[in-house]
Structure 1
Amino acid sequence: MLVHLMLELYNCAPESLSSEPVLRRVLDEYPDRVGMEKVSPVHLYDIDTSNPLDAGMSGFVVIAQSHISLHAWPEYGEVDIDICSCKEFSQEDAIAFAKEVFKTDDVEAHFIVRATRSLRPDEPDPARLQAAMELRRARKGHAVAEVG
């Protein structure tokens, strides 16, 4: 199972939507705020298009369970945030964090459950987990031996 929370926040503080430090902090802190494991650095891009009204900031962070992304349009006072995960999380906490950072109560939220036929179990089979951990250790040991 995969859960996907999509947030559209309107009437946001424009200065927060054009602030690279604020947007970077949001993506950096979101995984902890919703109980996820961050596995990549934050990627944030200043988007400049042929239409200046479509310009803004877009970014994402990869989490062990999937990803968190955002797209901010200061011209419109709007930010869209997606949290996609195979691990359940508190929608309320995710929404509260976004409202706090972007200083708005004008939120549209959509929540869907995806991958309902996935063969990936909620809890891994202990034997398969142990075998995967041993394989990972062997690969890491092999890579270290090659370098050394």
Structure 2
Amino acid sequence: MLVHLMLELYNIDRGILENEPLLRRVLTEYPDRVGMEKVSPVHLYDIETSNPLDAGMSGFVVIAQSHISLHAWPEYGEVDIDICSCKEFSQEDAIAYAKEIFQTDDVESHFVVRATRSLRPDEPDPARLEAALAARRKKATEVR
């Protein structure tokens, strides 16, 4: 199973949405805030398009369970955040963090359950997990 929380936050101060260190911090902190394991650095891009009104910042961080992304549009006072994960998490905590950091109560949220036929178990089979860990240790030893 895969769960996907989509947030749109409105009426945000332009300065917040143009604050690159703040947006980077959001992507850095979000995994811990929702109980996820961050497995990549934060990727954040200053987006310039053919329409200057669509300019803004877009970024993502890969988590062990999938990803967290955001798209900020200062011109419109809006940020969109997606949290996609095969591990359940508190929607309430995710929304509360977004409202706190972006200083708005104007939030639209959507929650979708996806991959309902996935063969990936909620808990890994202990024998398969041990075999995968042993293979990883062996590979790490061979690389040295």
Match of 1:115 in 2: 115
- CA drift of 1:107 comes to 0.2
Runs of 4+ in 1 over 4 A off after TM superposition: none
Match of 2:71 in 1: 71
- CA drift of 1:81 comes to 0.1
Unmatched segments (≥5 aa) in structure 1: none
Number of aligned residue pairs? 144
Counterpart CA distance in 2 for 1:130 and 1:117 is 25
Match of 2:143 in 1: 143
Counterpart CA distance in 2 for 1:19 and 1:89 is 27
- CA drift of 1:121 comes to 0.2
Unmatched segments (≥5 aa) in structure 2: none
- CA drift of 1:7 comes to 0.1
> CA RMSD of the aligned region, Å?
0.4
Identity across the alignment (%) = 82
Taking the TM superposition and a 5 Å limit, the aligned residue runs for 1:28-39 are 28-39=28-39
TM-score, scaled relative to structure 2: 0.99
TM-score, scaled relative to structure 1: 0.97
Match of 1:10 in 2: 10
Match of 1:59 in 2: 59
- SS of the aligned residue for 1:70 comes to strand
Q: Deviation per CA, 1:98-134, whole angstroms, max 9, x where unpaired? A: 0001110000000000000000000000000000000
Counterpart CA distance in 2 for 1:85 and 1:3 is 5
